[in-house]
Structure 1
């Protein structure tokens, strides 16, 4: 049966314009409209206001309401199957049913009832010829040669569609509410030069880089944000380089929307066109209490999502908006500071905090609470302050006051109030020199008083000079909380409770005054480094926040003593659990540990403002907490690298067994050196024992390909990385699994981990994957790479020398270890394998 004749489009337009009844019935399937076209809601009421559709009718251009019960009409592009408005023209000025949209050679113009234009496309020097709606949801204005003169994708509202970009400096603006109105609200997604951030009234409350699945590839300035079904990508280098990426797992195909909703939450939703179902695959921030107005003003947001008034405030049923008001009825919020000179400050509990404190520097440091409040009293826009008692830091809340969240106890909040009926006071106590009151006293008494006053003033000037010097030191932005040495000594029982030691110092367990458990590290290896240099490095480390990195809670610089205070990890280091613990880690938890450590390293390498090479990746520096939390410690204490410095850093530090070959040559140390160390750790996670280990006579038969030696107790000493290489070649992966997991792991699961580990330990650093790609391979979103056997041959010589050194160690120096020396450019790779040297373990490891 033949296809019915197609009704010519120009006849459709003529019938529409001259028909006595302008209403059009039936489905809309016209993807393009020429100029001199007019549409209104009444004209297309039978089609819900739709007058234009994409080729497959996935998207429609409509004049419609955002909700059936709403009488406010908008010109929008809508995704039909999911009923999602992807773009709107007049979101801040709705229209009525008779208002018209006109397409002319000058462009699109939307009029209100009074035929006044309320929205239009920018003027073009070239006349518009037609309007076209693509299957991507992009509305185009084209000239006679089909060049794009304007497109809706260039003017996004609160949502991005798969394939859409958002240029740097542009933003998505959330709607003001969920009542059917599309007007702009207070939340924005803004693309900056180095990150994408969420803002509330201009104040940052979340960054894309804070998401645990986001990784930075380069430090180039951002050109635009690109969104597709696989994730969010910040692009630089004229759009050719990925600066930062947030991969969305399990969503490589199909349509997706990234929307900033009226509550301030950025959500990515995938849509299945087959079963017409939606699935939320990402949101930020993950901690809803970080959103400024997740609750009402001065409500406290708890982790469960409930809201309650802050201490000293309550809900008044007579208040329609439900905001919290002071419990003390004599206090009210000041309407302005022009009519008041005597303010009161209502204190909040010290376990409360405010979202902006994490994203702004204090307005001043090294002051007391009185001066902090005085600064707020003099600022008409100041609504309250947060004050850090330990550090003397003053944070000011201005213009807008949102809800509160749980804090760490380091800052105390104060809300600015004024007493009802209290007269203004022009005289206030001000800090300064003591007032001298003239009284009639005997001359001897007057002389004694004068001496006392002079002594006090001298001490005061001395303290002031010391304070100025201290302020000069602590004026470095980004410093974490400063903790007194006496408090740390008391917290650690005078540094008696030692829980570990490493290349940078000794670690003690302690309990701070607020009851929180911490790990206190005494730094012993910074040599003659001055206080300012120390504080500058600590400021950089203090800004690093990632779920897989141990959080730096504070620091202490007390004379020559330099201490760092970290969160305490109750399960200790990986080596204790993996090699010494009574409980055997199951395969799933080992995979989670491997992934968590990889994410932490990837963030250090590419997610920080300054690239950080760890330089000592080993199980002792991978810490475990409850609920399988994995965090890397001791990062940032090695040299911090700028891009210019990264090729020049050759300081030898690390731990034998995990050092990359380039450590023993003049080759530059890069982030690929950490990748090698991670690969060695990954092999130990697979085996559940050290890479250099022993096996009993009964279980050694299968190890014949691996160079080994026997000790007097009948144990065979094995170099496990070489065994992993041999079993990979043979495809016998189950031989490599921890024997305690026998029968619990499938071969392909082990193969994945072994292949990743072997790729990480390639002799050539350029062949090693980045830690970001390691994360992708572990997650399954990046294809596995096949190990290069030629770049792994050095493991055979490592294994042979390990066996030889094991034999020699019985009668020679036990502190020496045979290590491979990488060939120079003038020697062949094959010949160089016989060139080894003895290197002291202290030389290799650095301070231990």
Structure 2
């Protein structure tokens, strides 16, 4: 397929025109495939390639460390030469059984045996396939109109002729040998679409081009060099924004190849080809230096900035995943091999470093040794810094990330806590202390043991007699949780039954500790919570790690949700979630509630579904929480009589009337939550304007959003309900589907509502 067709030099002179015709016909076959039959046409198989007319680019099945991919690459230029990859998430395990087909209806299919790995949209007419010298793979109609093109679906490389819009973006490779999607992306930033941002995990922006001003981006001064390429920004600062570039013509008409590439290490780089050196020249890279890239080295990883190996673990720490680390993916970070903290811990001097995340406690101290003693008093303290000038201790808690060296002129030096003594200072008096304490302990151990046994037998009997046995839960002491939360000093939330604090256990895992504060320790809610979720686990339910029931103390220990409650993102002045995240939250919440209703041994009615009780983890996965009001009913029963509970605005009508409730009460609350998710607002607030006042309901002098929203959804005016912060960056088909489900869920007649499984 990729060998040139040749005519013999002794061809008869009587047929020059016919020979020339066949030459051009066969040459066209080399670069164009069309479908006119009723069966699939195999375009590529095995090591065959499909080249552009001038052999600038070629399409083929290329092998990488994770499998085989349909890819376009520069034909003769060295790495980086792969400019587009089709099946990034689904590599073919072998080359022999992989093939690219063109169907009679004009659809491209990449298959492995009988499994479809990648496909273009199905069409209704035969199409022809071409690979252009620009590197663009196109499907053309009979009239030559482009029906589909790879330039509309860029991967990690931006070539001349590609226009980036709000619908497409660049996503890095996982590593230099793994084309699967990595954690970094470059995209136009809503809602104004006047600049590009680099994102880590689609959530954290760590560099921006700045706004488009006077023909270039503020933070990219290299764009002012006009003789290399020219940028064109159509409709900037609008949802229709489209940004691209083209190479400037030279006197000879030829210009060395140029491309932008989002590197696996999170930098956007421009490369130009250097003919004399025979290699790519990196013209510029952002952000610069490399260590400003967020998440590059993970937790307790230090960025050293070397292009080939930018990360290393802090002294005393090891890579969390050796395989990923050796392949060039450092985002998993490092861990302390000895998870238990102890009196033999010490501190290792890191010099002047910067880092992200974590929590800090400020203490006024006379010396670094004082700071060390403060830090060693808590297993949650992972490091410290001491500024001799101000005499200020900074003790760090949690997982610290993105370490990078700073200027040596900084007056603050950081130290990380390591096992085995670290620098070896400050521990000489502990041997004597250990001997004294050991002698006293030996004398009192018998007495203490007896007291503990008596206390357990008498003090816990009342609690254990009617408490449901719970498996896989750890029983914490109050002192242990007090230490983990540093004396309950870091409040992260407050609910109807108590306050939630962030803490860190001795195994370095971050947790959320809820301290019940109702009279009597919230005993009823405490038992309901432990009994309900103590024995169940689901990806969309917050995991209960353990509890404390000591004297009058009632505490619950959960996994920590880094991104907090959904309610935080439903405030006009608060942060906003993209539609993709909102849709995942809607589906994930539904899955969690459906599991409670339909898959547990006993049906569980949550009774308090609302945004405050939907938490988001580090990947914005939704997890239902707070089961203090939950009711368990046997599978032989469909209703349960319960006193009215929950939160006004989410409580189903039948509950207010005092009848026995069903799982449909949760469905109603879920529907109310969906309306808030779509609108990016709370259901009860002051009227936004006169234009919406006539259809809403009044609740205590405030405007009730759901009736107004439901009416517009039923009328087909869903766009009026959608959060204006989303702009046009949302899938309207998904929005309409979610909106209709919300209205379906909040009907007054519970029999008309769907089950959560149907949702």
TM (normalized to structure 1)? Answer: 0.36
Structure number, greater radius of gyration: 1
TM (normalized to structure 2)? Answer: 0.40
